[in-house]
Amino acid sequence: MFGLIKVVFQYTYFFDDLQSKNTTILYNPLLSIPASGIIPKGPKIFQVSIPCTGKDEGVAHFVLGLEIYPHNHGKAMEIELELKKRCEKFETTDLCKMPCQNNGRCNQNGECECPQGYHGQFCEIGKYTLSSFPLKFKKKTSFPVLR
């Protein structure tokens, strides 16, 4: 009797290079996913935001470097893209209704682009908040006072 053996390969990704070559024109690219992790088995959507600073206009160069390697630590596949983006000068102080928090950046559309781990209209919500993990104690616990 013969049977099929299903072989499942797991791969890990690592964005090793996300940088603007012209930081007065273009901020470093921002990912909507962690910079490293396990590649999901099914299709998933993520985005790379490449925000202009608005301080200057011109064509900016940036690099996206990605490594993909199997979990058995075989040879990594390396992808490096050197790309260009044209940016216009604009004033960001009036575009966003409120300042972006947690190092978020106001883009030319008046929207905050949040760094990894933050979201919300003004990047005010962290991925994990204390309310995400309610604390429950089974018995009365006291903590030492540090001086």
Identity of residue 115: P
pLDDT the model gives residue 84:
93
Clarify whether residues 14 and 83 are in a common domain: yes
Domain that holds residue 58: 10-89
Question: The domain that contains 120 carries what CATH number?
Answer: 2.10.25.10
Q: From CA 85, how far away is CA 50, in angstroms rounded?
A: 8
- Count of domains for the chain: 2
pLDDT at 93: 60
The CATH number covering residue 69 comes to 2.60.40.2170
* pTM beyond cutoff 0.75: no
User: pLDDT tens digits for 91-120?
Assistant: 656 678 888 888 888 887 888 888 888 888
Q: What integer pLDDT is reported at residue 8 of this predicted model?
A: 59
